Amino acid sequence: MAYVAKRRIVLAQELMRTSRVSLSQIALACGMCDQPHFTRVFHKIVGVSPGVWRRQFAGGREGSVYAAPLAGAVR
Protein backbone atom coordinates (compact mmCIF):
# COMPACT_ATOMS: atom_id res chain seq x y z
CA MET A 1 0.00 0.00 0.00
CA ALA A 2 2.91 2.36 0.60
CA TYR A 3 3.96 2.04 -3.04
CA VAL A 4 0.40 2.77 -4.23
CA ALA A 5 0.15 5.81 -1.96
CA LYS A 6 3.50 7.13 -3.20
CA ARG A 7 2.46 6.73 -6.85
CA ARG A 8 -0.84 8.52 -6.15
CA ILE A 9 1.05 11.42 -4.57
CA VAL A 10 3.40 11.66 -7.56
CA LEU A 11 0.33 11.87 -9.83
CA ALA A 12 -1.22 14.50 -7.55
CA GLN A 13 1.96 16.57 -7.63
CA GLU A 14 2.00 16.47 -11.41
CA LEU A 15 -1.65 17.57 -11.53
CA MET A 16 -0.95 20.39 -9.07
CA ARG A 17 2.06 21.57 -11.11
CA THR A 18 0.27 21.53 -14.45
CA SER A 19 -3.32 22.52 -13.71
CA ARG A 20 -5.49 24.75 -11.59
CA VAL A 21 -7.86 21.95 -10.60
CA SER A 22 -8.99 22.10 -6.97
CA LEU A 23 -7.30 19.89 -4.40
CA SER A 24 -10.55 18.04 -3.75
CA GLN A 25 -10.82 17.15 -7.44
CA ILE A 26 -7.17 16.10 -7.51
CA ALA A 27 -7.75 13.91 -4.46
CA LEU A 28 -10.61 12.10 -6.18
CA ALA A 29 -8.68 11.82 -9.47
CA CYS A 30 -5.81 10.14 -7.61
CA GLY A 31 -8.01 7.54 -5.95
CA MET A 32 -8.31 9.11 -2.52
CA CYS A 33 -11.70 8.94 -0.82
CA ASP A 34 -11.76 12.66 0.09
CA GLN A 35 -9.57 15.73 0.51
CA PRO A 36 -8.81 15.30 4.25
CA HIS A 37 -7.52 11.77 3.61
CA PHE A 38 -5.49 13.05 0.65
CA THR A 39 -4.01 15.82 2.82
CA ARG A 40 -2.98 13.36 5.56
CA VAL A 41 -1.34 10.96 3.11
CA PHE A 42 0.36 13.77 1.18
CA HIS A 43 1.75 15.31 4.37
CA LYS A 44 3.00 11.94 5.61
CA ILE A 45 4.85 11.23 2.34
CA VAL A 46 6.05 14.70 1.30
CA GLY A 47 6.38 16.47 4.64
CA VAL A 48 4.18 19.48 3.86
CA SER A 49 0.50 19.92 3.10
CA PRO A 50 -0.68 19.89 -0.53
CA GLY A 51 -1.66 23.57 -0.34
CA VAL A 52 1.79 24.62 0.86
CA TRP A 53 3.48 22.41 -1.73
CA ARG A 54 1.34 23.81 -4.52
CA ARG A 55 2.07 27.42 -3.56
CA GLN A 56 5.81 26.69 -3.49
CA PHE A 57 6.22 24.49 -6.55
CA ALA A 58 3.31 24.97 -8.93
CA GLY A 59 3.61 27.20 -11.93
CA GLY A 60 6.39 25.47 -13.81
CA ARG A 61 9.23 25.89 -11.36
CA GLU A 62 11.99 23.42 -11.96
CA GLY A 63 13.04 20.94 -9.35
CA SER A 64 12.30 17.60 -7.86
CA VAL A 65 8.74 16.37 -7.65
CA TYR A 66 9.45 15.72 -3.98
CA ALA A 67 10.41 19.19 -2.91
CA ALA A 68 10.29 18.40 0.77
CA PRO A 69 12.07 15.41 2.31
CA LEU A 70 10.07 12.22 2.21
CA ALA A 71 8.78 11.21 5.61
CA GLY A 72 8.51 7.44 5.95
CA ALA A 73 9.21 6.80 2.30
CA VAL A 74 9.62 3.29 1.02
CA ARG A 75 13.19 2.76 -0.08
Q: What is the mean pLDDT of residues 36-60?
A: 92
CATH topology of domain 2-57: Arc Repressor Mutant, subunit A (1.10.10)
**Cβ-Cβ contacts under 8 Å for 60 (sequence gap 6 or more):** 17
d(CA 18, CA 71) in angstroms, rounded, equals 24
- The pLDDT tens digits of the residues spanning 14-44 come to 999 999 999 999 999 999 999 999 999 999 9
Q: What is the mean pLDDT of residues 51-61?
A: 82
**Cβ-Cβ contacts under 8 Å for 49 (sequence gap 6 or more):** 39, 42, 43
What pTM does this model have?
0.75
| Residue 31 identity (one-letter amino acid) | G
